[in-house]
């Protein structure tokens, strides 16, 4: 079973793309909604909450877990991969969204090797729109320097975008005002970016409102599609892990907050009815 974790329901954008590209597998989605958003929390707390969530998914039978949350990927993934898994879960894998997203930003193929695989364009500028915590972690800049050091990265924190999505305010004058405020430092530059990554799972829900505000020559990258395509490639390159995944097309949705509230918002996103359950991580 594949586990998909996010601090809220924004990670359903990732899950929707996974269900489209890899429908044969069983999925367990966990939203730590009771403690969301993670973006404003300290690194220690993000590590603690993420590890608790990953361990819960392991306990429920997941052998591969995708951290759909950018904040968790930026702040907790390295610690989990390098310190926790080798000692406690050597047969499990936890994957994040930062590395595959940076590969796409740089125009690199999946599984690019730093210093060996060169991007098609080693110059110019690209941008990441993310939470304040993801920007503060500098994870995107560090990964881009490894893969394509000649590309300039513009990082812009968008602190109000997650609350807008969580409140269902996906359009309207107020939403447009907040979007313009965050976009201005990115677009009003001598050298604007050629690609903009929506570096938070919530942000693709704002795409209809964002597209008219971004010039046609700038590509908006949907992280959900990137992650789905690159997980497909990862499973092909790691058949030993793909073979351990159960294949029944089952989906289970869980949240640490009210199940009815989560299901209502999840249905709007996925376009079909779903049943959610409330769980306790400890």
Which pair of structure tokens corresponds to residue 14? 């990732």
- CA-based nearest residue to 221, from 205, 209, 204: 204
The CA dihedral of 209, 214, 101, 137, to the nearest 10 degrees, is -90
Look at the block and give the residue holding tokens 């881009």. 144
200 in catalytic set: yes
Catalytic residue among 28, 66, 67, 69: 69
Cα distances (angstroms) measured from residue 175 to each of 7, 39, 155, 178: 22, 19, 21, 5
The conformation of residue 101, written as its DSSP 8-state character, comes to: H
Q: Where are the alpha helices (DSSP H) in 82-219?
A: 85-88, 98-106, 132-137, 139-147, 161-166, 173-187, 207-210
- Going 9 to 10 to 13 to 15, the CA torsion angle's sign is negative
Per the DSSP assignment, residues forming a β-bridge with 277 are 254
Per the DSSP assignment, residues forming a β-bridge with 64 are 2, 93
- CA-based nearest residue to 7, from 104, 133, 92, 102: 133
Catalytic residue among 72, 179, 200, 210: 200
Strand pairing category for 125-130 and 219-221:
unpaired
69 in catalytic set: yes
Residues known to be catalytic: 69, 200
């Amino acid at each position: 079973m594949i586990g998909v974790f996010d601090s809220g329901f924004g990670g359903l954008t990732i899950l929707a793309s996974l269900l489209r590209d890899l429908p044969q597998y069983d999925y367990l989605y966990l939203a730590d909604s009771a403690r969301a958003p993670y973006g404003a929390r300290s690194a220690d707390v993000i590590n603690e909450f993420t590890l608790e969530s990953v361990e819960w998914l392991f306990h429920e039978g997941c052998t591969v877990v995708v951290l759909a949350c950018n904040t968790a990927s930026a702040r907790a993934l390295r610690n989990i991969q390098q310190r926790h898994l080798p000692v406690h879960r050597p047969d499990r894998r936890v994957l994040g969204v930062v590395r595959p997203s940076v590969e796409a930003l740089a125009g690199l193929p999946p599984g690019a090797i730093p210093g060996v695989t060169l991007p098609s364009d080693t110059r110019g500028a690209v941008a990441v729109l993310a939470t304040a915590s993801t920007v503060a972690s500098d994870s995107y800049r560090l990964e881009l320097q490894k893969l394509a050091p000649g590309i300039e990265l513009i990082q812009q924190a968008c602190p109000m975008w997650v609350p807008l999505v969580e409140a269902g305010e996906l359009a309207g004058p107020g939403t447009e005002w907040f979007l313009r405020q965050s976009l201005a430092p990115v677009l009003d530059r001598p050298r604007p970016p050629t690609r903009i990554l929506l570096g938070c799972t919530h942000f693709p829900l704002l795409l209809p409102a964002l597209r008219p505000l971004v010039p046609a020559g700038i590509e908006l990258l949907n992280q959900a599609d990137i992650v789905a395509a690159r997980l497909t490639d990862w499973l092909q390159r790691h058949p030993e892990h793909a073979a351990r995944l159960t294949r029944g097309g089952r989906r289970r949705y869980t949240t640490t907050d009210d199940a009815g509230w989560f299901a209502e918002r999840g249905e709007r996103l996925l376009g079909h009815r779903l049943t959610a359950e409330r769980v306790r991580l400890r």
